[in-house]
Structure formats: structure tokens, C-alpha cells
Amino acid sequence: MTETLLNTVRRYVDAHANADGLAQTPIAGLTTIRATAPTGLLHAIARPLVCLVLQGSKEVAMGNACVTYHPGDSLLITADVPTISQVTRASAQAP
């Protein structure tokens, strides 16, 4: 039986997430994040990362560019970059 990425991540997060929705994995540097509601703005220096949106939506601003990411979209950051981001669509039924 083939299991989708979304179902695999959902099961892992259900079993391992802390109260903030963060679940560290056994793979160094790989973390899953589950938000059950839209968030406020998060100002950060993003280190190199890959972000894959499985459900909901997220906005990320870097400089003058602001991009909205939807399910199936991915973001690749290859250098330390100041960002402003927020989850714009999330719910308990579709985190």
C-alpha cells in the first residue's frame, strides 16, 4: 500500500510534535511544523532551508518581494536572508 507524503507527515507529527507543533526527526536538520491557525508575523534571519507546504498557505517576504505559498509549493533559501513570514491559512481540520 502506498502512503502519501501528507499522511506520512501527519502520522509523524501526531506522534512526536510538541505543544508548539514542532516535531524533530531523526534526520539532522529536518523538522516538521504544524500550525492549526494563522500566525502573526515572524521576523527572522532564515538560514539555508527548504520549505515544502503540504496544506494551508504561508507568505514570506524577503526585501521587496512577497510570495504566497500554497499546498505543493516549495521555497528554497540558499543563504542567510532576513525574512518576514506568517502562516495565512491553517485550521485544526487542515493544519
Q: Are residues 94 and 78 in the same domain?
A: yes
What span, in angstroms and rounded, lies between the C-alpha atoms of 62 and 7? 31
Q: What is the pLDDT of residue 28?
A: 84
Q: Are residues 29 and 13 in the same domain?
A: yes
For residue 17, give its domain range. Answer: 1-34
Q: Are residues 27 and 70 in the same domain?
A: no
Q: What is the mean pLDDT of the chain?
A: 93
Q: Are residues 64 and 46 in the same domain?
A: yes
When pLDDT is cut at 50, 70 and 90, the band that residue 2 belongs to is: low
Q: What is the pLDDT of residue 1?
A: 43
What span, in angstroms and rounded, lies between the C-alpha atoms of 66 and 18? 29
What span, in angstroms and rounded, lies between the C-alpha atoms of 55 and 68? 13
- Per the structure block, which three cell numbers stand in for 65? 518581494
pLDDT in tens, 6-60: 999 999 999 999 999 999 999 888 899 999 999 999 999 999 999 999 999 999 9
Q: Are residues 53 and 83 in the same domain?
A: yes
Q: Are residues 30 and 47 in the same domain?
A: no
Q: What is the pLDDT of residue 81?
A: 95
